[in-house]
């Protein structure tokens, strides 16, 4: 779910998927969750149909504990991979994480955001 950070049974990896979200010109929350005692080396990416977003400019923001740490504008074109090198972030323990998208031009677009990461500081549960 968008408001949950999910863990693999061995607690070594985590993931969060937004699902399909209609993104408008105002900041749309794509993922929002809090960490506990673990810290995470995470990669997040956004996705959408190139034909649908080709005329749009997307504003991406990553907020940790109320502080914007990434805020960038991406101009999407038909022949451009939206984010060639997704950023890798270290998310500290006990952190509120929020990731938003907004589009600056055109009409609403359907977008998705994913976060995957390696987890440190949690015990192995023994489940596989």
pLDDT at 35: 93
Least confident window among 19-33, 68-82, 85-99: 68-82
Render pLDDT for 100-120 as a digit per residue (tens, 0 to 9): 988 777 677 888 889 999 999
What pLDDT sits at residue 128? 47
Distance between CA 90 and CA 13 in Å, rounded? 13
Q: Which residues of 40-75 are buried (b: 16+ CB within 10 A; e: fewer)?
A: bebebebbbeeeebeebebbbbbbbeeeeeeeeebe
What's the pLDDT tens digit per position in 6-57? 999 989 999 999 988 888 778 889 999 999 999 999 998 888 765 555 556 7
Q: What is the pLDDT of residue 44?
A: 86
Band of pLDDT at residue 76, cut at 50, 70 and 90: low
């Amino acid at each position: 779910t968008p408001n949950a950070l999910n863990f693999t049974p061995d607690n070594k990896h985590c993931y969060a998927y937004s699902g399909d979200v209609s993104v408008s010109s105002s900041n749309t929350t794509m993922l929002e969750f809090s960490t506990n005692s673990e810290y995470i080396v995470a990669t997040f990416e956004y996705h959408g149909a190139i034909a649908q977003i080709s005329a749009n400019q997307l504003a991406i923001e990553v907020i940790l504990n109320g502080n914007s740490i990434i805020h960038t504008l991406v101009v999407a074109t038909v022949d451009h991979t939206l984010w060639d090198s997704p950023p890798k972030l270290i998310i500290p323990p006990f952190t509120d994480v929020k990731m938003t998208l907004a589009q600056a031009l055109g009409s609403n677009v359907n977008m998705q955001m994913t976060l995957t990461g390696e987890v440190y500081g949690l015990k192995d549960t023994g489940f596989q």
